[in-house]
Amino acid sequence: MKNTSEILDLIKSRRSLRSFADKPVSATTISTIFEAARWAPSSRNEQPWRFLVATKNQPEAYQKLLDALNPSNRDWVQRAPVLILTIAKKAFDRNNAPNGHAWHDMGLAIGNVNMQATAMGLVLHQMGGFNPNVAIENFRIPENFEPVTIIAMGYPGDPDMLTEKLQMLEKAPRSRKSLSELVFTGEWGRGVDEHNPNF
């Protein structure tokens, strides 16, 4: 079991890169990453996440996912050896009632995917910039499922292969809001003291 500082360091090391090495990701590695997703928590243990995976070994499926992306994403994504369509099941199995937590639960599963991939030396870049209707049509996704994001996955590559604009984004320092902006204690707007937490 990793200690808490190791886990936090792993989380902090995650980056949404756009540069990918010309190196395939093995089937065993991909399976391990999705095994991490399988163990995510979910409301009523519904496990509403689904993943449609296409590697460059599957050119037809890979192209279908590329076709669903916005052009600005499509240009750089083509270097990624793996593309993943994330899909949420919109209703509970037990009674077909709408599952308002499905997208939250999908996020938990993707969090596991991110951390497992990062631990294995891979990078992921999630994109909302795609046309879900194209994905639905291309893959004949049933009506009770909704595409959420497309993820590019692979090993980190040389950012100098990107356009100048994307290189700037790739090399820019990461930024995060302070805890006091995100975590309130006692009442709305009372930010936690980061140096002396007042919980």
pLDDT at 162: 86
Q: Is residue 183 part of a domain?
A: no
The b-or-e profile of 139-170 (16+ CB within 10 A means b, else e) is bebeeebbbbbbbbbbbebeeebbeeebbeeb
Q: Is residue 135 part of a domain?
A: yes
Domain range for 31 is 4-158
Using one digit for the tens of pLDDT, what is the confidence trace for 51-102?
999 999 999 999 999 999 999 999 899 999 999 999 999 999 999 999 999 9
Query: What pLDDT, in 10s, does the model give residues 19-32?
Result: 999 999 999 999 99
User: What is the structure's pLDDT at 98?
Assistant: 98
Other beta carbons within 10 Å of 45? 7
Please report whether residue 174 resides in a domain: no
What SS3 state is found at 146? strand
- For β-strands 49-55 and 82-89, DSSP reports them as antiparallel
Task: Enumerate residues 6+ apart whose C-beta is below 8 A from 44.
Answer: 92, 94
Q: 27 lies in a domain?
A: yes
pLDDT in tens, 97-124: 999 999 999 999 999 999 999 999 999 9
Q: Regarding predicted confidence, which is higher, 198 or 147?
A: 147
Is there a domain that residue 173 lies in?
no
Is 196 among the domain residues?
A: no
DSSP string, 51-85: EEEEETTSHHHHHHHHHHB-HHHHHHHTT-SEEEE
Residues 181, 172 contacting (CB under 8 angstroms): no
Q: Is residue 177 part of a domain?
A: no
Q: Is the pLDDT of residue 1 over 70?
A: no
Question: CA–CA distance from 53 to each of 38, 56, 126, 137 (Å)?
Answer: 15, 10, 14, 16
Residue 196 confidence (pLDDT): 85
CATH of residue 103: 3.40.109.10
Query: What whole-number percentage of the chain has pLDDT above 70?
Result: 99
For the whole model, what pTM was predicted? 0.92
- When divided into structural domains, the chain yields a total of 1
d(CA 16, CA 149) in angstroms, rounded, equals: 14
Q: How confident is the model at residue 2 (pLDDT cuts 50, 70, 90)?
A: low
**Count of residues making up the chain:** 199
